[in-house]
Amino acid sequence: MTEVVVVGIGADGWDGLSPRARRAVEGADVLRGGARQLALVPDDVPAERVPWPAPMAPALAGLLEEHPGRRVVVLASGDPMLSGVGTSLVRLHGAGAVEVVPHPSSVTLACARLGWAVEETQVVSVVGRPVELVVPHATPGRRLLVLGSDGGTPAEVAALLTRLGYGASRLVALAQLGGPEERRSTGTAAGWPHGGTDPLVVTAVEVVADPGTVVLPTVPGLPDAAFEDDGQLTKREVRAVTLSRLAPVPGQLLWDVGGGAGSIGIEWMRTSPSCRAVAVEARADRVQRIRRNAVRLGVPGLEVVEGCAPEALAGLPAPDAVFVGGGATAQGLLEACWAALPVGGRLVANAVTVESEAVLATWFAGVGGNLVRLAVQRAEPVGGFTGWRSAMPVTIWSVTR
């Protein structure tokens, strides 16, 4: 049974509401929303108006208990199910308790103004989140819509793109979409002339690379130079094979045990915005390095745990996949990783020493999987000629539980 109605309202206010949305608002006993949304409702609507407190989350959780027996309507910006309060209320109270009456979203309106196909446009929300989330999506020819928290977002996006080597990208800041004060500001990332805009703004980006910019794809195998490291780095070719065995799946969680530079966890998360990872690293300096790499490469949500495995694994959320990049000989480490995996979970462990290889061989004999040794050679100068220099071979054990 529906207990709360969520009505989307745009910058066009009351005039832009559908008849169904108006009836819901006019029939409410209580209107909840931000001060801006509540002010868009005419004074002759008799409902009690209660603005959201700060922080907002406890009020959302207790919304039904706070207004027992009363008809509650929540006002939300645009489409309540696009990074909006409708999503939060459904998650907290269930879809059966929440009816949503959407308004055209800022994404829909922006694409309509620009002539962009919605299904071909990447939406990135940095509302209350780091602007670096744009990084994995910044590739030549791509169209982005960045949803931000305030009027400073367009300038932040412009500065970020310029640092990444995409200063030639074309930006349009679309403010007050759908309202009488709708306006746009344009420019390139490198030459963005607008320090701040209206807080109700969507930043549209057509990504253009500057000459010489190295494009970083989302598929595994970034150049080693993309990472800050102290030598503790799973090298590019081995990393690509390792991630293929870990098989990133949207929405799943990886444990990167012995994070080093964080390259495996970072590349796991870059494959999909919904991929999550926890990097476990014993050294404090490497912990900070992993965090810097994660922010710079566009996955600031990478969780980093400082501590020695297996003890540091206690209390972590259950993984869908585990990578052990070093320390396979540590007492109880592989046992703890194996025990944490669900049916269908993947475990991948790499070894470069005879002792760690022996541990992997024992596990391979006991539970199966695949055992592969990679030997990589790189062409390097030898006097006035070119020869092959071999890297240390790496043994990779991968298994599905």
Of 252, 296, 297, 298, residue with least CA distance to 278:
252
* pLDDT at residue 149 is higher than 90: no
Same fold: 4-104 with 224-400: no
Residue type (1 letter), 184: R
Indicate if the pLDDT at residue 2 is higher than 80. Answer: no
pLDDT digits (tens, 9 = 90+) for 274-318: 999 999 999 999 999 999 999 999 999 999 999 999 999 999 999
The per-residue pLDDT for range 15-45, each reduced to its tens digit, is 999 999 999 999 999 999 999 999 999 999 9
Cα 68 to chain centroid, rounded? 37
The verdict on domain 224-400 having CATH code 3.40.190.290 is: no
- CATH code of domain 4-104: 3.40.1010.10
Domain boundaries, the chain: 4-104, 107-206, 224-400
Dihedral sign (CA 179, 182, 188, 189): negative
User: Is the peptide bond between 310 and the residue preceding it cis, with omega within 30 degrees of 0?
Assistant: yes
**Looking at residues 129-157, what average pLDDT do you find?**
96
**How do residues 222-235 score in pLDDT, each as one tens digit?**
999 999 999 999 99
pLDDT at position 360? 97
Q: Report the distance separating Cα 351 and Cα 21, nearest Å.
A: 62
The arithmetic mean of pLDDT across residues 375-380, rounded, is: 95
> Please, is 338 exposed, middle or buried when counting C-beta atoms within 10 Å of its C-beta (0-12, 13-18, 19+)?
middle
Region for residue 237 given its phi and psi (left: phi exceeds 0; alpha: psi -120 to 50; beta: otherwise) = alpha
Q: Give the pTM.
A: 0.91
- Kindly report, residue by residue over 183-218, the tens digit of the pLDDT: 999 999 999 999 888 888 999 999 999 999 999 999
Q: Looking at the domain covering 107-206, what would its CATH class be?
A: alpha beta
162 pLDDT more than 90: yes
Residue 138 pLDDT > 80: yes
| Residue 326 confidence class, pLDDT cut points 50, 70, 90 | confident
Q: pLDDT averaged over the chain?
A: 96
